Amino acid sequence: MIVPKPVEQEPRPGTFVLDERTSLTADPALSEVAAWLRGELAPVTGGELLPGTGPGTITLTLGDLPPEAYRLTVGRDAEIVAGGPAGAFYGAQTLRQLLPPAVFRKAPAGALTAAGTYVEDAPRFGWRGCVLDVARHFLTKHEVLRFIDLMALHKLNVLHFHLTDDQGWRVEIRRHPRLTEVGAWRRESQTGWNGAMDGRPHGGYYTQDDLREIVAYAARRHIMVVPEIDLPGHTQAAIAAYPELGNLDTPLEVRTTWGVGVNVLNVEDSTIKFFQDVLDEVLELFPSPYVVLGGDEVRKDQWRASPAARRRLAELGLRDEEELQSWFIRQFGGYLAARGRRLVGWDEILEGGLAPGAVVASWRDEWGAVAAARAGHDVINCSNTSLYLDYRQGPGEEEPVPFGPVLTLEDVYAFEPIPAELRGDPAAARVLGAQCGVWTELIDSGRGVDYMAFPRLAAFAETVWSPAERDLPAFRERLAAHLPRLDAIGVEYRRAGGPLPWQTRPGVPGRPETAEQWQAKLDAWTSNLR
């Protein structure tokens, strides 16, 4: 009962026994995977899983396979043949799932057995991601590392790390220390989407050493951490720290409410240089070939009212503020390209013309994915109608995050990363994959992340790893076997019957009660973007 479903699995004779006598042998190129697996299994067995031979040997070897592919044969022994370290790691994750759930507690459990089986597996898409928003509500380094482990268990390989927004700046920039001294803290937070204020200060940030640790931890689990530094919108925290970045003479505070804000960066050369300084340090911390620069939900009101922005428009010979935003984004697209990196932007970057080589993260349904792919740009499907895990999971009043339309486990499982309009079109090859989103405006703790992400993240993982065919009853059967693994890890996921008592938060004011009210609110947001 493997999640996500492998390409092929069939029974084989024999039984594998994991106990204190188990040994582990690996090709030198797979030594890091072997060290990780040893660290997972040794606390369970009480042994050391040293290299050796004999009954109960785990062997990791290289074979003629794609880098993320593997073959796992389990009988008296367990052998993983992989195309590279990533494939070996995924094979090791599958081996763990074949063992009883007690293996996930990482505590002495006596002898554990796995029935003989053969698995042949490889992912359908190369980009299997999740957005983790730590700007709206800060998560500790420990909580981020734990989430990385949960992503790895489900064979996801991209952590899109949303580090900055109106409500908080979470990455230490030594050249501009006020970004965290001021921008990492807000005096209170909105409790519902249009609700009351909680009156409690909130904040936090990651030091550069924290971020190096997070990146290295993820890399050992074959997860690429892609940072997001939002601009030119979603920047009120930065403007609060450095008012000269904005368009107003009036000082701002770090934003305490949610939604699309009006405060955006100005388009001065000094502001572009400021954020290039920021990116100089970000690129040192994140080796990812991709960097997300947002570009979404940029209200143009301040640019229209700004004499400096109007002058810039005239100097550049641009038609309107949409083209001005594209010009602004291109300044960073060229900067990144010169350093061997690729810009990723939300689909709003299409509106005034795409920067050369930009990757489009299509979130407003799937129209951006279709448009960008047909224009010759790579795309990531992030459809808000199917993959936003901050949306409520049921219609009941007891849901702890009563926001958005209902997005059930079954809805997520039905998602197809290739938009219908691209199926059969050569442009479909431009779809790198997909990613779900854990946005945290209304998720204020690690426990809340557990509840909103799981088990829906398991359903998403299957849409990006497994073959395109869907079999909901079979998935439910595998999920029933998978949930005890999450229990063993301590994941406080949403149960089939609804929230547990501690997970309820009734009476949050200002929430949209119906899908119709939610759609009206979404329409209002969209109309404010221009």
Task: Kindly list the catalytic residues.
Answer: 165, 234, 297
- Give first-to-last CA distance, the chain, whole Å: 49
Q: Are 81 and 70 in contact (CB under 8 A)?
A: yes
Overall residue count recorded for the chain in this entry: 530
> Following CA atoms 8, 221, 461, 345 in sequence, which dihedral angle do they give, to the nearest 10 degrees?
-130
Question: How is 47-84 classified by DSSP, letter by letter?
Answer: S---S--STTEEEEEE-SS-TT-EEEEESSSEEEEESS
Structure tokens at 368: 């951006």
> How far, in Å, CA of 34 to CA of 178, rounded?
43
Using alpha carbons only, give the angle 227, 228, 232 rounded to the nearest 5 degrees.
150
- HSE toward the beta carbon, residue 195, CA cutoff 13 A: 21
Single-letter code of the amino acid located at 66: P
Query: What are the structure tokens assigned to 311, written together?
Result: 């002058």
Separation of alpha carbons 216 and 288, rounded Å? 12
Enumerate residues 6+ apart whose C-beta is below 8 A from 415.
Answer: 383, 386, 387, 434, 460, 463
Secondary structure class of 145 (helix, strand, coil): helix
Residue 185 Cα distances to 135, 189, 201, 383, 486, angstroms: 10, 11, 7, 30, 33
Nearest to 238 by CA among 212, 207, 210, 274: 274
- Count the neighbouring beta carbons within 10 Å of the beta carbon of residue 282: 22
Alpha carbons within 13 angstroms on the beta-carbon side of residue 238 total: 26
Q: From CA 227, how far away is CA 286, in angstroms rounded?
A: 7
